[in-house]
């Protein structure tokens, strides 16, 4: 099973590493990291580099495509070569998935027209610009397309996908393998739950960047 | 604030990327990835490479040290140079932390003697070999040492640490930034909760490897 993980400069690392950590454990998984050019890409803050072993033009298809997000996606929404590649790979996939603002790339590639989808909460309403229907759910499944909310939601998405691909029991074994029994010290992980001051603090930080 | 993330061949990627994604958002964070030699390291299944920008001998201290795990740690428990480096860095830290079997490296470095600690559930009892006191908690804080359970528990540990360093409100803003409002599709993330068949399935898989 070919699992293709898109990466790019400015990616949010957990967007792709969360799903990867789950999906690489599927039976027969062969995971390929791919970028515009093969080699190192730097995450959003430049502290961490991941290696893309493949360039886009080396990858012609996938069983599962994972498109992550990060602040960089805003510019990539206008990258016609990348969007054409996403459309071409999607034409071959069993599952096309996204995490966080990776959904904006699927949307810009016109794969979400008329479909429900999710993305990072701060970008949710922008899905409408591409004809998608934003929902506040953490994981949204529409046919073969599965979108996840911000950053850490990719883990929940990938476990959902693992169950579709390999069955509930195997997905549970993966969950146990990564000991995913979340116990966050606060209940502030969504706009609905976070204190208003925390939401405003973060919106102010985001306001300085172009989401 | 110098945050030093140890990486090595055979690492479990999420062990380090989970905490990294949280800690890099702290005010003034400067995160360094360090390995025996600078350059690419490959994760447990070889599909993903991370880049260590620094070698061990270039890093003489840290405010926060993060030691991740993976199947590779079993062999590294006998790596005297690495253990000496961990002890030397720990002598300079405000916080020394581990995720998953990274705790076994702290234990082998004799940093957990007489202390409560946690690690991946499948290795928990082995902490006793080094005089540590295993507990089933997801995050264990003992003085300046904070250990986390398996793989995904590093996110919970890092949010707990973020609150200690930057306050509860800032930690909540980080949690909202990574939209960490976990909704796993199953409740099978701990040995206590997973169906017995799932635990046995995974134990059989692990039995083929030397934990």
Determine which one of B100, B140, B146, B174 is catalytic: B100
Mean pLDDT across B165-193 = 96
Q: Is residue B205 part of a domain?
A: no
Does residue A157 form part of some domain? yes
Portion 39-98 of B in contact with A at CB < 8 A: 40, 45, 47-51, 53
Smallest Cβ distance to B149: which of A14, A172, A179?
A179
- Per cent of chain A over pLDDT 90 is 94
Q: Which residues of B touch A9 (CB under 8 A)?
A: none
* B203 within domain boundaries: no
- What's the structural domain count of chain A? 1
User: The domain containing residue B135 runs over which residues?
Assistant: 2-183
Determine, yes or no, domain membership for A207. Answer: no
B17 falls within a domain: yes
Give the whole-number percent of chain B exceeding pLDDT 70: 98
On average, the pLDDT of chain A sits at 96
**pLDDT at residue B31 tops 90:** yes
Q: How is residue A45 annotated by DSSP?
A: T
The SS3 assignment for B148 reads strand
CA dihedral B146→B32→B21→B172, nearest 10 degrees, is: 60
Alpha-carbon distance of A44 to B178, in angstroms, equals 13
Task: Say if the Cβ atoms of A177 and B202 lie within 8 Å.
Answer: yes
- CATH at A59: 3.40.50.880
Whether A203 is covered by a domain: the verdict is no
Helix, strand and coil in chain B, % to nearest 5 = 40, 20, 40
- Chain centroid, CA B166 distance in Å: 20
**Number of Cβ pairs closer than 8 Å across A and B?**
230
CB contact under 8 Å between A182 and B189, yes or no, is yes
Optimal mutation site among B185, B190, B207, interface A, most CBs of chain A within 10 A: B185
Whether A210 shows a pLDDT value over 70: the answer reads no
B5 is catalytic: no
Q: Which residues in A138-162 are b (16+ Cβ under 10 Å) and which e?
A: bbbbbeebbbbbbbbbbbbbbbbbb
Q: Quick check: is B190 in a domain?
A: no
Contact B179 A100 (CB under 8 A): yes
Domain contains B211: no
What are the CA-CA distances from residue B26 to residues A51, A183, A189, B67 (Å)?
A: 25, 20, 17, 18
Q: For position B209, what pLDDT does the model report?
A: 61
pLDDT of residue B211: 47
Render pLDDT for A124-165 as a digit per residue (tens, 0 to 9).
Answer: 999 999 999 999 999 999 999 999 999 999 999 999 999 999
């Amino acid at each position: 099973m070919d699992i293709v993980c898109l990466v790019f400069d400015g990616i949010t690392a957990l967007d792709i590493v969360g799903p990867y950590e789950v999906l690489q454990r599927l039976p027969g998984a062969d995971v390929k990291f791919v970028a515009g050019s093969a080699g190192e890409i730097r995450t959003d803050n430049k502290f961490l580099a991941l290696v893309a072993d493949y360039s886009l033009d080396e990858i012609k298809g996938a069983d599962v495509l994972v498109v992550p997000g990060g602040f960089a996606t805003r510019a990539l929404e206008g990258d016609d070569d990348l969007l054409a590649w996403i459309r071409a790979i999607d034409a071959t996939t069993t599952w096309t998935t996204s995490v966080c603002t990776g959904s904006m790339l699927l949307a810009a590639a016109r794969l979400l027209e008329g479909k429900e989808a999710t993305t990072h909460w701060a970008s949710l309403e922008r899905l409408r610009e591409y004809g998608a229907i934003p929902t506040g759910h953490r994981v949204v499944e529409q046919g073969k397309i599965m979108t996840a909310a911000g950053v850490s939601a990719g883990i929940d998405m990938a476990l959902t996908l693992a169950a579709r691909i390999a069955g509930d029991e195997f997905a549970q074994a993966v969950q146990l393998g990564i000991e995913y029994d979340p116990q966050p010290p606060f209940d502030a992980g969504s706009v609905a739950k976070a204190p208003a001051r925390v939401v405003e603090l973060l919106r102010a930080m985001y306001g300085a960047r172009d989401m």
